[in-house]
Structure 1
Amino acid sequence: MTRTGRVGVGLIGAGMISNQYLTNLSQYPDVEVVAVGDMNAERAAAQAAAFGVPRSGDAASILADDDVEIVVNLTIPAAHVEVSTAALEAGKHVWSEKPIGIDRAAAQRLVELAKERDLLLGVAPDTVLGPRWQTAKRAIQAGVIGTPLTATTAFQSQGPDWFHPDPEFLFAQGAGPLFDMGPYYLSALVHLLGPITQVVAVGTKAYETRTIRSGPRAGTTFPVEVPTHLTVVSRLANGEAASSLMSTDTALFRHGVFEVNGTEGTLVLGDPNYFGGGDLKLYRPITEFRDGRMAQEPEIIAEEGPLSGRGVGALTMARTIRRGGDLHIATGEVGYHVLDAMTSIEESVERQAFVDIRSTVAPIPALPADFDPFAATLTTSV
């Protein structure tokens, strides 16, 4: 039976990030959250009640729900592949929080399974679908900075243990600043400039244990399993080079350094953990001195399109399910390529050598300039 109207969504995972997804998905007219699932049934029921979702239960109940067409996988990274695989095998399309998984081979099998089942697989971050990044992509494609040459990115903090009540998983295998924050920066690089072909990296770890600083478990210590300060150099397919700092070992909080340099200018974009909400700055090469100083004022490029939020990736999938087209650009293939790059960065740290990236992705199109997540574009069910 061909379905029409809004696309039914079911969440698996009712932790902190589900608040943002539920808030945003409830504002997109083309989708409807019909169920929330979690291994903790009480937590799932509480989230469902808080956001007016009609049903709740465990993961199995979401997979068995005929009204669920897209499963939004918000489990911890170590469970991403297992839950996404179960959803695909149940005939559901899948939107997964980042990363796609923590094992390269398992994630590749997941991408292949989605193709075999003719189902859509999408992977966060969907911040790259926000107006800041789409405006930047169209500007770069239009040649505003000339030929792209390099990119510079940085994320610095003293770590999520200072605010998160259960931060252990963020310092375990498959997490750390590389797997937790890296997907935002690396995905933005891939969307804007193309696939990564080679990396070299140095990684260190300031502490062997950390202490939870907030919530009911404050004072509890836990082990740190992964590097918490990484310096990475990436080579991209079109010849560009990018330098990236990812750290949870610095007292200085500096989020969202993201700059793309070209032959005719530098585009300053801001934090890839956010969808937008501010203008882009374009710096042209210096052409004069004023009072003995370099005169350099940025040109302002206004963002195009309404500001969206987490869940917009599931929305682009929903519209693609109903209407076809190429709105679904935060794909499983892109998610796998980013995982491949992150795993290669880990290997580079261990081997102290350059590592070639095995995977690649085709050029990623920009969303239409008139893309509006808040528009009702799908017909009403009959």
Structure 2
Amino acid sequence: MSSGPVGVALVGAGVISGQYLRNLTSFPDVRVLGVADLDTERAAAVAREHDVPVSGTLDTVLALPEVEIVVNLTVPSAHAPVALESLRAGKHVYGEKPLALDMDEAAKVMAEAAGLGLRVGGAPDTFLGAGLQSAAHALRSGLIGEPVAVTAATQSLGPESWHPNPEFFYQPGAGPLFDLGPYYLTALVSLLGPVTRVAADTRTARAERVVGSGDKQGKIFPVNVPTHVNALLDFPGTATAAATFSFDSPVNRRMIEIIGTEGALSLPDPNTFEGPLLARGLRDMDWRELPLSGTTAGRGIGVLDMARSIRAGTPHRASGALAYHVLELMVAISESGERSEFRGVTSTMSSPDTLPADWDPYAATLPR
């Protein structure tokens, strides 16, 4: 078995890569060895900015023998192809959400990894941050009794006002459900376990959108996904959930509330790693803020947990099974919206263990 820091390469040098690289290059238990992109000049610039020694194409970084994990930050349509190529090169894969565009692609990725004895991990890893980890501890301690019902919502006017290249947000594999849904659905299933069936209603408010900033400002582009989704989720033996995912709302909302037999929890925005986390009892007049424990290091802690788990031979928390289940939920919600019927969910997963109290991303824990 290998020892020492785990070698990592990033594929996809877009906007999100900066957050990953700032964090991953600061964690002593991983070493970032390469950055790849279809635009090799962009890959080189990003690599220089973060003192990464190698840049180039996907083949370039896959050829590095020290690379054990490929972090796949490509656009959704490339998630499965890049994952498959990386697995066939003998690398573990950790990918941005969603795991793939559809269940057939996702199943191929999971089967390939299983056949090769390799791991699949998937974003989001926000559920490993202090806010949602503290929520998990509160829920499992019985603070609000048994969960009964959940309300979740993420609402805005969409990213085209601020993102310089927003077109892909409105194509298959994105939209509010596939872009923001993973944060909410991952938070819910990590806390409450798998969902067995869903129902949904969907709408597309406008057939076209306009880029609001950057070099493409004023460009009109088509919308090819629903931009407002209402969903019901059934957690067997526990709560039911009502969730809204919208790019059509002038009212910004980012919330999850869990009602239990003895009270309620108001969770932090699941697209963040911090708080606030609020609770109230059945007879309380207002919310009270709960103390947080855990890391707020940000994107990349799922990769780090995967790296440490590889060395320890233990399960990693932001797992392929979790990402696969969340993808099936989103696909089922989409199908339910099209067909106006409940859709069953066949995949399952186990709620990940909470991180140990002394889990520190900045501590060197692997033998040197």
Per the TM superposition, whether the score is higher than 0.5 is: yes
Amino acid at match of 1:261: I
Matched, 1:373 2:361: yes
Give 1:185 deviation, angstroms: 0.3
| Residue pairs, 1:153-232, within 5 angstroms | 153-232=152-231
Task: Work out whether residues 191 and 351 of structure 2, in 8 Å CA contact, stay in contact via their aligned partners in 1.
Answer: no
SS state at 2:80 partner: helix
Measured in 1, the distance between the counterparts of 2:80 and 2:237 equals 31
Matched, 1:347 2:335: yes
CA contact (8 A) 2:13 2:42 kept: yes
Q: Which residue does 1:259 correspond to in 2?
A: 257
Indicate the SS of the match to 1:69.
Answer: strand
Give, as a single letter, the amino acid of the residue that structure 1 aligns with 2:89.
Answer: A
For structure 1, list consecutive stretches of 5 or more residues without a partner in the other structure: 287-294
Following the alignment from structure 1 to structure 2, what is the Cα–Cα distance between the partners of residues 301 and 140? 12
Q: State the TM-score, normalized to the length of structure 1.
A: 0.94
Which of residues 270, 275, 278 is equivalent to 1:281?
278
Distance, in Å, in 2 between the alignment partners of 1:6 and 1:144 is 39
Q: How does 1:285-364 map to 2 (within 5 A)?
A: 285-286=282-283, 296-326=285-315, 328-364=316-352
Quote how far apart the aligned CAs of 1:362 are.
2.5
Residues 17-62 of structure 1, C-alpha deviation per residue, up to 9 Å, x if partnerless?
Answer: 0010001111111001111000000000000001111110011111
Letter in 1 for 2:266: V
Contact 1:275/1:307 (8 A) holds in 2: yes
User: How many residues are aligned here?
Assistant: 368
- Say whether 1:270 aligns with 2:263: no
Rounded Cα–Cα distance in structure 1 between residues aligned with 2:230 and 2:95 = 27
* Worse overlay, 212-221 or 353-362: 353-362
Measure, in 2, the Cα distance between the counterparts of 1:94 and 1:281.
Answer: 35
Task: Find the counterpart in structure 2 of residue 48 from structure 1.
Answer: 47
| C-alpha separation in 2, matches of 1:139 and 1:368 | 15
TM-score scaled to structure 2, two decimals? 0.98
| Cα separation, 2, equivalents of 1:325 and 1:352 | 42
Q: Distance in 2 between matches of 1:20 and 1:366?
A: 23
Q: State, as a whole percentage, how many aligned pairs show the same letter.
A: 47
Contact 2:199 2:231 in 1 (8 A): yes
Measured after TM superposition, the shift of residue 150 of structure 1 is 1.1
SS at match of 2:16: helix
Task: Report the secondary structure of 1:16's partner residue.
Answer: coil
Structure 2 stretches lacking a partner, 5+ long = none
Greater than 6 Å deviation, 4+ residue runs: none
Amino acid at match of 2:81: E
Report Cα offsets for 1:54-80 as digits up to 9, x if no partner. Answer: 110011111111121110000000110
Shift of 1:279: 3.9
Cα distance in 2, alignment partners of residues 274 and 102 from structure 1: 24
For 2:14 and 2:174, the matched residues in 1 are separated by 17
